[in-house]
Amino acid sequence: MMEATRSASRESVLGNWPRYDAAVLGFRNYWYPVLFSRQLGRKPRSITLCGEKIVLVRDQGRVYGLHDRCPHRGVPLSCGRREFPGLLTCAYHGWTYDLATGRLEVVLTDGPDSPICGKANVRTYPVEERAGVVWVYVGEQPPPPVEEDIPAELLQPNLTIEGFTEVRKGNWRYAAENGIDEGHSRYLHRSAFWTTFRRMPAWTQGTRMVPSEDGKWLMRERGKAVFQDTYPRIGKWPPQPPWRNRRGGAVYHKLGIRLPGILINTQTGWSDYEIWVPWDEDHHLAMFLAVTEATGLRALLFRLWYRLWVRWVFYRGFNGQDQWMIEQMQIPPERLYRPDVSITAWRKWCQEQARGATPTAAAAPTEDWATAAAADYVAAEAATARTEVHAG
């Protein structure tokens, strides 16, 4: 009943973006990163992607993905073993599937001429490896080249990449909306050790969400930042102690998001990628990549700095505050405010740009997209205000 209520109210609030609203399990027809290459060997691993159970296994250097369920007795194939080259064998009765095609090739316990061979096959998933990461395609349309779904920056040579993955509580959209959200950083993260020496604005004006030139990213263009202001009842806020001014230090240089849920957050000398992969209704897989162009000693120093500092102060400290909020968030209902234009623009972007839409809807964003997104926000804000009144 709780669920029923929730769905009902969700509909009324997010009604402006029905495709986004329906994407509880993510957008299909995309390549998703799910593991680091180093995490996968010959031992099968089970993941959940867009609600589907998938077993991944490496054979002779390549990675394969199959539906993680033997049709015979419903046992996960990830309990089995890659016992013969190119084949995955179910632990229970030795049903043996071709890794590339999913065809039931051999049934060990029923003899060489088992009549069921070829008649109980399992679905396969396209898998690729790039940038030290395993990418899996989920969808019904023929997959595009994996490069199409990977930020070009990550495909360069001479990169040094650190990072980690974690299955976390919260629908993937909570995490993505928190990632692109313009407003929270200047309050929530003010107490993070990461920002101690950075000057953060009190508020900003005229932030716009604009498509990147290649049409892949939705970039957040900062407007005018006000670093201190005088508020009613509160007076001057925030305090800006002198050490906060060091290096004029902004928290990020460039920030953007792209489908199906990848954030780039350019820092001085390195980039932070945050990728939110739909797991099931209530969980997402978070993948974090800390990337720099470096080789040799500089690469080594970057790795050291990541492991001793960034990993803890940025990803556990600063980013851990986001995780805390994502776990607590419960929408709908919601009540939007001005900085949420970054969120509504992202919703509009998904609504219009996500693969699988009807041709009309999937049109490329026009030049006045930022204006359109702002108009969309105004409509949404009005809608949530109405909801509030009805609920009150």
Query: Least CB distance from residue 289 to its own copies, whole Å?
Result: 25
Please tell me whether residue 38 binds its own copies under the rule CB under 8 A. no
Applying CB under 8 A, which of residues 7, 109, 156, 295 lies at the interface with its own copies?
109
Is residue 33 classed as helix, strand or coil in its secondary structure? strand
Query: Least CB distance from residue 205 to its own copies, whole Å?
Result: 7
CA angle 286, 42, 78 (to 5 degrees): 65
Closest CA to 259 of 187, 173, 190, 171: 173
DSSP state, residue 156: S
DSSP state, residue 364: P
Collect all residues with Cβ–Cβ distance below 8 Å to 218 and sequence separation of at least 6: 180, 209, 210, 211, 212, 256, 257, 258, 345, 346, 349
User: In the window 176-215, what residues touch its own copies (CB under 8 A)?
Assistant: 183-184, 186-188, 202-203, 205
Q: Residue 324 CA to chain centroid, in angstroms? A: 17
Please tell me whether residue 86 binds its own copies under the rule CB under 8 A. yes
Which one of 90-98, 132-140, 150-158, 206-214 is the stretch in contact with its own copies (CB under 8 A)? 90-98
Query: Least CB distance from residue 297 to its own copies, whole Å?
Result: 41
Spatial distance between the Cα atoms of 68 and 52, rounded to a whole number of angstroms:
8
Six-digit token pair at 39? Answer: 């995490």
Query: Least CB distance from residue 272 to its own copies, whole Å?
Result: 20
CA angle 193, 197, 199 (to 5 degrees): 115
Please tell me whether residue 139 binds its own copies under the rule CB under 8 A. no
Six-digit token pair at 111? Answer: 């003899």
Please tell me whether residue 224 binds its own copies under the rule CB under 8 A. no
What is the residue whose two structure tokens read 């069921």?
A: 116
Query: Least CB distance from residue 218 to its own copies, whole Å?
Result: 20
Counted residue by residue, the chain has a size of 392
Query: Least CB distance from residue 249 to its own copies, whole Å?
Result: 19
Tell me phi and psi for residue 19, to 5 degrees. -70, -45
Please tell me whether residue 223 binds its own copies under the rule CB under 8 A. no
Q: Which is nearer to its own copies, 37 or 101 (CB)?
A: 101
User: In the window 309-328, what residues touch its own copies (CB under 8 A)?
Assistant: 324-325, 328
Which one of 115-123, 127-135, 215-223, 286-294 is the stretch in contact with its own copies (CB under 8 A)? 115-123
Please tell me whether residue 71 binds its own copies under the rule CB under 8 A. yes
Which one of 87-95, 272-280, 283-291, 312-320 is the stretch in contact with its own copies (CB under 8 A)? 87-95
Spatial distance between the Cα atoms of 307 and 17, rounded to a whole number of angstroms:
40
CA angle 26, 28, 32 (to 5 degrees): 80
Please tell me whether residue 93 binds its own copies under the rule CB under 8 A. yes
Query: Least CB distance from residue 359 to its own copies, whole Å?
Result: 28
Applying CB under 8 A, which of residues 5, 330, 358, 360 lies at the interface with its own copies?
330
Q: Is the dihedral of CA 310, 316, 317, 319 positive or negative?
A: positive
Applying CB under 8 A, which of residues 157, 206, 214, 233 lies at the interface with its own copies?
233
Query: Least CB distance from residue 84 to its own copies, whole Å?
Result: 5
Please tell me whether residue 68 binds its own copies under the rule CB under 8 A. no
Spatial distance between the Cα atoms of 60 and 37, rounded to a whole number of angstroms:
13
Query: Least CB distance from residue 337 to its own copies, whole Å?
Result: 5
User: Which amino acid, 280?
Assistant: D
E-only strand ranges, 68-158? 87-89, 95-98, 104-107, 124-125, 127-130, 133-138
| Cβ atoms of 69 and 76 closer than 8 Å | yes
Q: Which is nearer to its own copies, 8 or 300 (CB)?
A: 8
Query: Least CB distance from residue 198 to its own copies, whole Å?
Result: 16
Size of the site for its own copies (CB under 8 A): 64
Tell me phi and psi for residue 112, to 5 degrees. -60, -25
Please tell me whether residue 304 binds its own copies under the rule CB under 8 A. no
> Site residues (CB under 8 A) for its own copies?
69, 71-76, 79, 84, 86-87, 89, 91-96, 105-112, 114-116, 119-120, 183-184, 186-188, 202-203, 205, 226, 229-234, 237-238, 324-325, 328-339, 385, 388
